[in-house]
Amino acid sequence: MASNTVVAQDPLPKEVVILLAILGAAVATMLGYAVHRTLYAQQYRDRGDSNTPGDQQTGYMREVRERNLQDMDPGRRKERRMRGPVRGRGDGGFNDGDDWGREEY
């Protein structure tokens, strides 16, 4: 005869419960962000809020990037080392009048 007894199962381990709670919180956060971004996207576009830099900052960043690329050119680096450090900055950096970079190759 078959008996209709219910076998008690072991509860989930604490680690699994914690992991499920963390994953559930992450999913809820992402869903909340997606809903908020969808519902209020037009307001952000109308205000002009964005993380893009202005024209002046963009030009400055382009200038610094070009200067850094030129400094990475091996020919320019050798020329700069032979010339010596840049004088007159006075900021305590490497180019503050010390003998850094005076080696000739």
Token output for 43: 């307001």
Scanning the structure block, which residue is given the tokens 């307001």? 43
Nearest to 101 by CA among 87, 72, 80: 80
**What is the crossing angle of helices 55-72 and 74-83, to 10°?**
80
pLDDT tens track for 7-57: 667 788 999 999 999 999 999 999 999 999 899 877 777 666 567 778 899
Residue 99: DSSP 8-state: -
Half-sphere exposure at residue 38, Cβ-oriented, CA atoms within 13 angstroms: 6
pLDDT for res 10: 77
End-to-end CA distance of the chain: 96
Residue 105 banded pLDDT, cuts 50, 70, 90: very low
